[in-house]
Every structure is written in C-alpha cells, then in structure tokens.
C-alpha cells in the first residue's frame, strides 16, 4: 500500500522559512517523480514544484522560483520543500504527490497516482 505522509507545516511569520517533508512508502521511490501542490481555502489545488525520479530535473511555479526549493533523498524515500521568504499568500494546505511521469505530476494533477493527506502552512502578516 502506497503512503505519502507530509510533515513540517505550521504557523510562521511573513519572511520566515519552513521545510516540508513527504515520506513515501510502498513504492519504488526512484521510479516516481514527486511534486508539491497547495490549496488555499475556496481555491483550486495548484502546482508548486516537482522533481524527477532521478532528481536531475526540477520545475517550479513562477511565483515560487527563487523562494522554494524541492529536493529528494533516495536513502530516506523522502521529498522536501524548503520554503523561504514566506508571504501571507503562501498560506494553504500543501500536498505531496507521486506519479511515474514528471509531466503528469507537473501539469496534470487530476491524473496523479498518489496523494498525501496534506499539511497546513499558515503565514501571518
């Protein structure tokens, strides 16, 4: 059974940093591209960042470039999202995603194979 378990969310002041983690189990980690999405109240889920199974290719939503960094640790079967210079508009539930296709996990969220349960990030002004 595949499980994606996010952690690291919380309350932070604007300008602060958080690092989210997503621990994956039940799958061959290196065969899966991993991604992060976020969903604010009343809004649709939106792409944040993704990384290929090898870790060699990374993609970001334009508004996150330069502030967020996605990485993965194959030894720990974990993907991370380092978030710096946080803004109140970054407040959302952040979800981890896994799919065998980097294209799907980046551009076609409705077709993603697996999702985590989400972790809340709240940025106060």
Radius of gyration of the chain measured on its C-alpha atoms: 13
Q: Which among 81, 66, 69, 56 has a CA at the least distance from the CA of 4?
A: 81
**Cα angle for residues 7, 80, 4 (degrees, 5° grid):** 55
Instruction: Return the pLDDT at 8.
Output: 97
Q: pLDDT at position 54, please?
A: 94
Per-residue pLDDT band for 68 (boundaries 50, 70, 90) equals: very high
């Amino acid at each position: 059974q595949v499980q994606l378990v996010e952690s690291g969310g919380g309350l932070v002041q604007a300008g602060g940093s958080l690092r989210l983690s997503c621990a994956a189990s039940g799958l061959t980690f290196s065969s899966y591209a991993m991604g992060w999405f976020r969903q604010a109240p009343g809004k649709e889920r939106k792409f944040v960042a993704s990384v290929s199974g090898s870790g060699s290719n990374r993609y970001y939503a334009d508004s996150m470039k330069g502030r967020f960094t996605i990485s993965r640790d194959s030894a720990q079967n974990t993907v991370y999202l380092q978030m710096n210079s946080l803004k109140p508009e970054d407040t959302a539930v952040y979800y981890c995603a896994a799919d065998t296709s980097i294209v799907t996990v980046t551009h076609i969220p409705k077709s993603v194979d697996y999702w985590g349960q989400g972790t809340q990030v709240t940025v106060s002004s």
